[in-house]
Amino acid sequence: MPPAQPPIPPQPQYIPPSPGYPQPQLAWHPHLAKAHGFSQLFGLHPGVALLTTVVDLMLFGGDVATLGAILPISIGCGAVLGSIAYKAQRKWYGDDKDTALIKGLVLGLLTAIPAPLPALLSIPTGLIGLVHNWRRRLR
């Protein structure tokens, strides 16, 4: 005798929307509903990318010159840069809260590390953001 099959759970049925009732959400997560492609997900506003590069190069030069004595200042500047990046990504680039927070935290962390890492990250993502803004204006 074959093993018993587990019962099939009932499938949801499509019910057409009624007038006066809210429409169902089309995405299963608000982040996915806001993500509009590669450039929106991985891009930075060009101003944020430029600010990140300039601040990191100034801090890295100071860290090298003082042999790491200004590391607490670098950590504080990284926190301030992360909050600026969060606000700018929300207002200028149109990111949702979660995406902007992740981008701001990553930029703040990479800026606080005494190495020129954000230049390797922020310049390409800033170029992606520049292309994203140009495409948005052409629509």
By residue range, what is the domain housing residue 85?
43-138
Task: Assign 26 a pLDDT band (cuts: 50, 70, 90).
Answer: very low
Name the average pLDDT for the chain.
80
Domain membership of residue 127 (yes or no) is: yes
Q: Transcribe 49-67 into DSSP letters.
A: HHHHHHHHHHHHHHHHHHT
Domain membership of residue 95 (yes or no) is: yes
Domain membership of residue 98 (yes or no) is: yes
Cβ count near 74 (within 10 Å): 21
Residue 7 tokens, joined: 């019962």
Domain membership of residue 9 (yes or no) is: no
Cα–Cα distance, 86 to 92 (Å, whole number): 10
Q: What total of structural domains would you count in the chain? A: 1
CB of 33 within 8 A of CB of 26? yes
20-29, 38-47, 70-79, 84-93: lowest mean pLDDT where? 20-29
Domain membership of residue 91 (yes or no) is: yes
State pTM to two decimals: 0.67
Domain membership of residue 2 (yes or no) is: no
Domain membership of residue 36 (yes or no) is: no
